[in-house]
Amino acid sequence: VLIDDLELDPVNARKHDDKNLKAIAESLKQFGQRKPIVVWGRTVVAGNGTLVAARSLGWREIVIARIPDDWDKQRVMAYALADNRSAELAEWDEQVLSEQLKQLELADWDVEALGFEATVEPLQDIVEDEIPELYEAKAKLGQVWQLGRHRLLCGDSTDKHNVSKLLGKIKPDLVLTDPPYNQGLSGANTGLVGKAINKVSDSIASMIDFDPNDTLELLYSLDKQSVNWIFYCSKDLLWDYLNFARENKLAFNVLVWQKPNAIPIGGTYRPDVEYIIHLRKNSIWNANLPNVNYSKVLFAKRETGKEHPTIKPQEILINQLMILSNPKSNVLDLFGGSGSTLIACEQTDRTCFMMELDPKYVDVI
């Protein structure tokens, strides 16, 4: 009907302040009108705030539902009060609400415009893992540590026996890992990258020419019905992941991490991007997360002053954990490095199962 044909309830018991009307207007702009306002004759009984917000947006028409003609004034009044009161009696699930607000903020939604307080801490304030100087490793290959709810194994992740030892009967919901790969270090500037290479142990350096196919086959054999996989990789290995996805009918996406402080390693172009492969087995979205669009370009500064040369920012890891898994999910990281994924899991209520080959970094974790 035409908005001009309707009138507000002159005895409406519900008050709408500017903040409330702004939130209603924002909802109408973002989603349109998804439920009708209820009218009796020309008078709005339920949806007075919606009518005011629609007028402020310049709408000329609005969808209505009419109260039956045989209702008397007292019955209409009772309905109006019950409609407002019933929503007040419901309680929020604070954990689910907080998780969904975080998801929307990660997708650049203005939650304050939707009527919520921006209570989510900025990702840049998240605690980063500090890595001390270590000289002699105490960890031994084959050892397993229970770190609260998280589990850590020192060993070779290409060995299926080690993976079984780490997981037991657990089937991971998300694989989030940063395998070693050839980043073109042989052509690097000796000053900056040479120092980084010196910090990488012999066992890791020997895996620079990493072939992802064995790891992919191993993960595929874990037979979880639906799982998301995230791999950081160089451009040279992109086709290995994409070919595996096509051969096994996996859904895939290629994301990019843009690094504003990339280390120059020679060549014509500065390596200021890193590729992230997202594979999905059975292509099922997590049911508890809002189905909104996320950017494929991630922005975060590379951590400096850390001992591990390829450490990933907590901001990006937490972003991926929250988009691709739910609270209490089990997350597998087969190349633990300095433990960044485990730290991110701890801060987002996930359980991490991590493997790291180098005993020095196991000690750090």
| Regions of the chain short of the pLDDT cut 70 | 87-90, 105-108, 113-114, 117-135, 181-210, 223-226, 260-271, 283-294, 301-311
Domain shared by 187 and 238, yes or no: yes
Verify that 345 and 215 share a domain, yes or no: yes
**235 shares its domain with 328:** yes
The CATH number given to whatever domain includes residue 84 is 3.90.1530.30
Q: Residues 155-207: pLDDT tens digits?
A: 999 889 999 999 998 989 999 998 875 444 444 434 433 443 344 444 444 44
So what's the pLDDT on residue 193?
A: 38
**Cα–chain-centroid distance for residue 316?**
8
**Residue 241 and residue 102 share a domain:** no
Residues 114 and 36 in one domain: no
Reported as a single tens digit per residue, the pLDDT across 64-84 is 999 998 899 899 999 888 887
pLDDT value for 211: 78
Q: Are residues 240 and 359 in the same domain?
A: yes
Partner residues linked to 38 by β-bridges = 46, 65
Pair 243, 176 in one domain: yes
CATH code at position 318: 3.40.50.150
Q: Do residues 282 and 300 make contact, with C-beta atoms less than 8 angstroms apart?
A: no
Structural domain that includes position 174: 123-364
How many domains are there within the chain? 3
b/e 172-181 (16+ beta carbons within 10 angstroms → b): bbbbbbbbbb
Q: Which of 161, 166, 173, 178 is nearest to 338 (CA)?
A: 178
What is the rounded distance in angstroms from the CA atom of residue 144 to the CA atom of residue 336? Answer: 13
User: From edge to edge, which strands make up the β-sheet containing 150-154?
Assistant: 144-147, 150-154, 351-356, 330-333, 174-177, 227-233, 273-281, 251-258, 297-299
Is the sign of the CA dihedral 58, 60, 66, 69 positive or negative? Answer: positive
Closest CA to 174 of 335, 34, 36, 286: 286
Q: Are residues 145 and 109 in the same domain?
A: no
204 and 76 assigned to the same domain: no
Q: What percent of the chain has pLDDT over 70?
A: 73
SS3 336: coil
In this structure, are 77 and 187 located in the same domain? no
**In a shared domain, residues 294 and 329:** yes
